[in-house]
Structure 1
Amino acid sequence: MWFLGPLCSFSLYLCFAAKSSAVIFHAGVENFTSFNTYKVSLVQYYADWCPFSRQLAPIFESASEEFLDHTQKGEVAFIRVDCVFYADLCAEHGIRKYPTVKVQKFGIRVKREYRGARTKEALASFVNEHLADNLTIVNGNGLPAKKAKNNLSETNEQLVFREAISNEVKEITTLKQADFPTVHKWIMDRCVSPVRELTFANAEEIADEGLPFLLLFYDSKSAHLKRRFHDLVKTHLKEERQTVNFLTADGVVFSHPLSHLNKTPKDLPLICIDSLVHMYKHPLPVETILSDPIHLKQFVADLHSQKLHREFHYGPETVQQNVAQPTSSPVASFSSPAHVEKQPPSQTTPTESIFKRLGPSRMRYSMVHDEF
């Protein structure tokens, strides 16, 4: 096997003498950016003490053999990062478990990591998917629309350009600095939805991001509210997308989490927050919540300030209100009416998070700091 990275010259000579067809790069702080020119880089973040990392290592090496020609052309790189030695780098990349396998395209990390089978064939198939051309030109006499749609990736990073069928142009953007990072950011801002649909297929991935969920649970009669929820988040809560995952979910499919809120599908629609510790239901009807962005803004603010957490543990807080401030619309209140004297809190039993159970399994991963 050829080890390319921070190895001594004697070790490097022995590796070349073996004349294996596998090429694994060992990366760290000093050389990680040197792979930014590769079209696809598959990066395994590992720890030697993790048994799952050790099991994946020979499979990862074997998969790299399928792309020797691409590697020699500078198109594909199989990279391993030792998270014990390069702990700061792994923390910077958001590594929370071992092994974590991420993909980079021209140095830009794709948000969705690899969660498939740990086999040579599955890894090779995953890399081939990312190697495929992601630009399709469609004209009136060419590729049918349905076939073009199938070429779109789940990450929304692929674009389909077609010949104009009208002279109408919805938007023209002039970029003063049209380099790759600037264009990439511009595209992602317009292609990535601020609200995702939660399913059992993506629940592990979303829970693994470690961000609280703000969920709209709906049923068939209230599915039309998803568009209003999406528009409100996009327009008024854009700055919160780095701290909260805004999601919609079919409340009939996810009836189990509802039961922990003492709700059933008959109570749909409803909005709640799952902090991955506890669950908090918004007290107002969804129609009222969506009528004014102040309701969701206050709900998120109370999450960040720990007010929701305190009230679920110790009951409603009481505060002194000196001057009543008029508002244009009723604002959700998560505490009892204001008065001067604060009553001693009564401890309550908060609703435990359900979605944290859908996160990565300890049968496949070692969590960071498990060695302690």
Structure 2
Amino acid sequence: MPVNLDSLGKMDIFLSYQHLKTTLLCHIFVSYFLYNPTNSGAVQLNQGNLDTILASNELVIINFYADWCRFSNMLAPVFDDAADKVAEEFKEPGQVVMGKVDCDREGGVATRFHITKYPTLKVIRNGQPTKREYRGQRSTEAFVSFVKKQLADPIKEFASLKDLESMDDKKRTVIGYFDRKDVPEYNIFRRVATNLKEDCQFYVGFGEASKQMHPPGTPIVVFRPDKARSNEQDETFLGNLSVYDELNVWASEKCVPLVREITFENAEELTEEGLPFLILFHKPDDDDIIKKYNDVVHRELITEKQSVNFLTADGVRFAHPLHHLGKSQSDLPLIAIDSFRHMYLFPDIKDMEVPGKLKNFLNDLHTGKLHREFHYGPDPVENVPQIDGNKKPTTPPESTFKKLAPSKNRYTLLRDEL
């Protein structure tokens, strides 16, 4: 039977087309699962990919977890869902990655980041861990909102020097004066602002807006304190603006004050530092007493900064600790120590500015005198507490701020697992 060469040619073409079609479909199928994996959500981080991801992204949020931890398992689906939402919204490479670390498998990574509880949510900006962990609400919406806030421009640009007159004088401020934006010094200024935007407000002016404040070609950076709450003075950065570490260290020292305000948002972070609190409770608008307290702390107690946290607290918001002290808002202002076991009241706010009075009060905490005297009355001359067998020791008010520390209802605390 004669062979139809024309039919064979058409058959070859058909088979070639089918082979090409099958190959193309396979390629699409493989590509889909490579770039759209079924295990979507947060990126699994390990010793091999961690440094590359940190170095190539402006913002990385890491969930350090353990599979056996109940709170880790509660957070996992929420965090993965948030990671998907963030990936949809921020598609530009190098912006943000939400990652997760299995601490049982990656013990070296957990040690590197000093993980002491599960789950811990670390925030990394420009390759460097921030001072603050993520401690906000654990919902998809809250995580997405947090990412948006973190990626927002940390610097406000002013059009004229007059604009600076309307700055919030209850906040600490760093101001940059530059000829133009496309200079290396401004890139460094912006990196520092990104790291410290939760501690300071940052302003910048270019060209005509700032030329009165600096010589041509020589940018200047100035720190302006929270003048409503302290008597600190303006200070100009005298280091090299081309060296990131120099500017970052200087700005960090200026932006994080010796006396900090405690809020419900930062209380967990402050309690985790483990230092007793010396707290000025004040009326919301009483800036004068805050200034006086700042002055006393800077003048007399600065050497104690490694052993105590100096804080101010809105006495209306923190009415509960006042109640424990037997006080109310009508008794404001007042000073107290919270040792995380008990609270001790400074006898008279009027004595705050008497040289040595506040320092002695703090020393009495360290020596145990406050605790002894609360139980047994004033120490006798020989400094040995005498107990009346018929008198029951009293109990100092319990610490209320320890309840704002990392909670067993929110974390598995590693020290409790040992």
Report the Cα distance in structure 2 between the residues aligned to 1:198 and 1:257, rounded to whole angstroms. Answer: 13
> Does the residue aligned with 1:196 lie in a helix, a strand or coil?
strand
Which structure: larger Rg? 2
Matched, 1:159 2:202: yes
Q: Which amino acid aligns with 1:249?
A: A
State the TM-score, normalized to the length of structure 2.
Answer: 0.66
Matched, 1:272 2:354: no
Q: Which amino acid aligns with 2:131?
A: K
Give the Å deviation of 1:125. 2.2
Number of residue equivalences: 337
Q: Show the 5 A alignment for 1:216-235.
A: 216-219=280-283, 223-235=287-299
User: For residue 40 of structure 1, what is the aligned residue in structure 2?
Assistant: 59
Report the Cα distance in structure 2 between the residues aligned to 1:358 and 1:18, rounded to whole angstroms. Answer: 41
> Does the residue aligned with 1:224 lie in a helix, a strand or coil?
helix
Matched, 1:354 2:400: yes
Give the Å deviation of 1:366. 2.6
Matched, 1:52 2:71: yes
> Does the residue aligned with 2:236 lie in a helix, a strand or coil?
coil
Q: Which amino acid aligns with 2:386?
A: P
> Does the residue aligned with 1:102 lie in a helix, a strand or coil?
strand
Q: Which amino acid aligns with 1:19?
A: P
Report the Cα distance in structure 1 between the residues aligned to 2:270 and 2:200, rounded to whole angstroms. Answer: 18
User: For residue 183 of structure 1, what is the aligned residue in structure 2?
Assistant: 247
> Does the residue aligned with 2:203 lie in a helix, a strand or coil?
strand
Q: Show the 5 A alignment for 1:134-283.
A: 134-140=154-160, 155-162=198-205, 163-164=209-210, 170-175=234-239, 179-219=243-283, 223-283=287-347
Tell me the alpha carbon deviations over residues 97-125 of structure 1, each in whole angstroms, 9 at most, x when there is no partner.
32221212113322333233323332122
Structure 2 unaligned blocks of 5 or more: 1-32, 174-192, 215-221, 223-233
State the TM-score, normalized to the length of structure 1.
Answer: 0.73
Report the Cα distance in structure 2 between the residues aligned to 1:290 and 1:166, rounded to whole angstroms. Answer: 41
Matched, 1:297 2:373: no
> Does the residue aligned with 1:336 lie in a helix, a strand or coil?
coil
Report the Cα distance in structure 1 between the residues aligned to 2:51 and 2:376, rounded to whole angstroms. Answer: 51
Give the Å deviation of 1:131. 1.4
Which residue, 78, 82, 87 being the options, matches 1:63? 82
Do the aligned residues in 1 keep the contact of 2:277 with 2:308 (CA within 8 Å)?
Answer: yes
Q: Which amino acid aligns with 1:77?
A: V
Do the aligned residues in 1 keep the contact of 2:279 with 2:335 (CA within 8 Å)?
Answer: yes
Matched, 1:19 2:82: no
> Does the residue aligned with 2:156 lie in a helix, a strand or coil?
strand
User: For residue 99 of structure 2, what is the aligned residue in structure 1?
Assistant: 79
Report the Cα distance in structure 1 between the residues aligned to 2:154 and 2:271, rounded to whole angstroms. Answer: 28
> Using CA pairs below 8 Å that are at least 6 residues apart, which structure has the higher relative contact order?
1
Do the aligned residues in 2 keep the contact of 1:272 with 1:281 (CA within 8 Å)?
Answer: yes
CA, structure 1 residues 297+43, in 2 after alignment: closer, same or farther (shift >3 Å)? Answer: farther
Q: Which amino acid aligns with 1:139?
A: A
Give the Å deviation of 1:167. 5.2
Report the Cα distance in structure 2 between the residues aligned to 1:114 and 1:257, rounded to whole angstroms. Answer: 25
Tell me the alpha carbon deviations over residues 113-157 of structure 1, each in whole angstroms, 9 at most, x when there is no partner.
323332333212211211122123211299897699999987124
Give the Å deviation of 1:54. 1.4
Which residue, 381, 386, 389 being the options, matches 1:344? 386
Give the Å deviation of 1:353. 0.7
Provide the identity percentage. 37
Matched, 1:288 2:307: no
Structure 1 unaligned blocks of 5 or more: 1-14, 317-334
Give the Å deviation of 1:233. 2.6
Matched, 1:129 2:158: no
